[in-house]
Structure 1
């Protein structure tokens, strides 16, 4: 979302954080697919014109089970890779690595890929771990990428860009790519720009709105926003 905001696309953003059922990276493909479809229906019910899945794990499950919507839907995996890369490394959740979606994507464009599951980093970022802990986890992943000589490291989980500076500091000059940034560039062809100052964000969370709000304060959301908590049980009822 932050990448879309930087490019002034859309006037209102609806952001769903399914905090009651996270993390998704250790769940089965079927479970994640059902969660993803619930989230898509929720956002469409709130009036979203276009739905963008910001979760690699969720889109991987939709692709694996042939359940991805065909209209007005984009996923984080729909980005275009910069030209000239021959071998890339992907750090992602266990579920994304198991799905093989990056293997398929890179194979189609003739790029070799090395995958590294980094589930531990998700929990560390969620818990606002100390810098030393983040550096320990990232260091192990980056060392393996440097050893096999990748041209770029893809942050295959939307938590990981929050630690992008750590990846870059430890990468030894290897390019670090954020799929969200690459996807936002691609979406400039599809989404209108907002030239006014009326843009805003509505955050919906399925649990722990207070904790979520504190995290937002830490990351300094650049637009006016509200946070609303809901229950899946109430919706189903």
Structure 2
């Protein structure tokens, strides 16, 4: 208790906490987009439940990983060397997660774009999606992001209590934003393609990090923000054109 009081009175601890919360929230955006796309494949009455279960179990898993933080840090130790690069367990987890994300995003893009398979394969995939499969995929990807974020967090602070608070705040924010984001993606089909493009880019970034080629996250999120801004402007333009269309038709009739 005395340690907590001491931390609460330390400006450095507050700076570390704010920085960690910001980092966890930003990293959570990737996960949240993935959760929204997956959960939207379920029947409407199951989507909110799937998001809550997936995010809730993700919180439990992250807190459990924080309890083994000393073991998590050791995952950065090289296990074998290939092409003059020492691969650690962390690298292998990032590569596996990146490959899964690229495969999943590519598959969803194919189902969305291909006019031949759209009537059969895509509908079959949507109707056969189960709660367990969706939650399992959410947890699988969250494991990858959790390991990466915890190792990064250890480099920012040595106090586990600060990491725990940051994780709880970030996951709570994800829980609050999950349903609005899911509904937004469902109502705007063009956003789905943009989101899948983001997931593919993030997957390639994970693979690159695992191979030893670090890509600054700032570049990735700046590109995502710019693309989202352009899509937002396109959506505004389409809505404005829709409002003008009835007036234009009426004017033509007169």
Say which one has the larger Rg. 2
Task: Name whichever structure is richer in helix by fraction.
Answer: 2
Task: Name whichever structure is richer in strand by fraction.
Answer: 1
**TM-score, normalised via structure 1 length:** 0.24
**TM-score, normalised via structure 2 length:** 0.23
Say which structure, 1 or 2, has more relative contact order (CA 8 Å, 6+ apart).
2
